Amino acid sequence: MPALSNTYFVLTGGPGSGKTTLLECLRAQGMSVMPEAGRAIIQAQSAIDGPAVPWGDRALYAELMLSWELRAYAAAAGLPGPILFDRGLPDIVGYLTLEGLAVPAHIRRAARDYRYNATVFIAPPWREIFHQDAERRQDFKTAELTYEAMLRVYTGLGYRMLELPRAPIQDRADFVSAHITALMGA
């Protein structure tokens, strides 16, 4: 079983809540960031007309996310800490649950055993910044349901959820940086 990594921080939440923009801002400020699996998988699968997309074979899509997240978890060990993850392994459990699909035991085990810092940042649904694109086809209601699913999954795994403020990007970045600094010093 992998050890707990206090230097691995997750940013989760529903689609269109500003996670990727925030992470790009933090990356520009020098923080190590592991990108989101979902968007990259959708782009790759779409390029080859592959089936592993949320509007196709959702279970296969989840398996590819699992593979991506396990690889990201291992790759992060070589980066200077702290490291921010655009979603984590528990997000896969939340996704499958939200889709009404069974969560295989190996995915539950990965979410349970591969631990991140006990504090997880969660971006709340925010209608003013929400938008859809080629990879983000979900509507705002789905964004709200995803947020709620992530709250349940992460808290069920013993994480403490810290909601981001609905504020300008630099304020959000300062919020995350200040909390990580405080948590790393603790």
Instruction: Summarize pLDDT for 29-47 with one digit per residue, the tens.
Output: 999 999 888 888 988 998 9
| Average per-residue pLDDT for the chain | 88
Predicted local confidence at residue 36, as pLDDT: 85
**Is the alpha carbon torsion for 51, 52, 56, 60 positive or negative?**
positive
- For the stretch 2-15, pLDDT in tens is 555 789 999 998 87
DSSP state of 84: E
Predicted structure pTM score: 0.90
Q: Show me where the domains of the chain are located.
A: 8-185
In whole angstroms, give the CA distance from residue 70 to residue 86: 13
- For the stretch 59-78, pLDDT in tens is 999 999 999 999 999 999 88
Predicted local confidence at residue 83, as pLDDT: 95
Contact 124, 116 (CB under 8 A): no
Determine which helix (DSSP H) or strand (DSSP E) holds 63, and give its type and residue range.
Answer: helix 58-75
CA neighbours within 13 Å on the CB side: how many for 178?
8
pLDDT band at residue 90 using 50, 70 and 90 as cut-offs: very high
Instruction: Say yes or no to pLDDT of 17 above 90.
Output: no
Coil/strand/helix, residue 122: strand
Instruction: Say yes or no to pLDDT of 82 above 80.
Output: yes
- For the stretch 95-139, pLDDT in tens is 999 999 999 999 999 999 999 999 999 998 866 765 555 555 567
- For the stretch 46-55, pLDDT in tens is 899 999 998 8
Chosen CATH of 8-185 out of 3.40.50.280, 3.40.50.300, 1.10.3720.10, 3.40.47.10: 3.40.50.300
Instruction: Say yes or no to pLDDT of 58 above 50.
Output: yes
In whole angstroms, give the CA distance from residue 138 to residue 146: 10
Predicted local confidence at residue 144, as pLDDT: 83
Predicted local confidence at residue 171, as pLDDT: 95
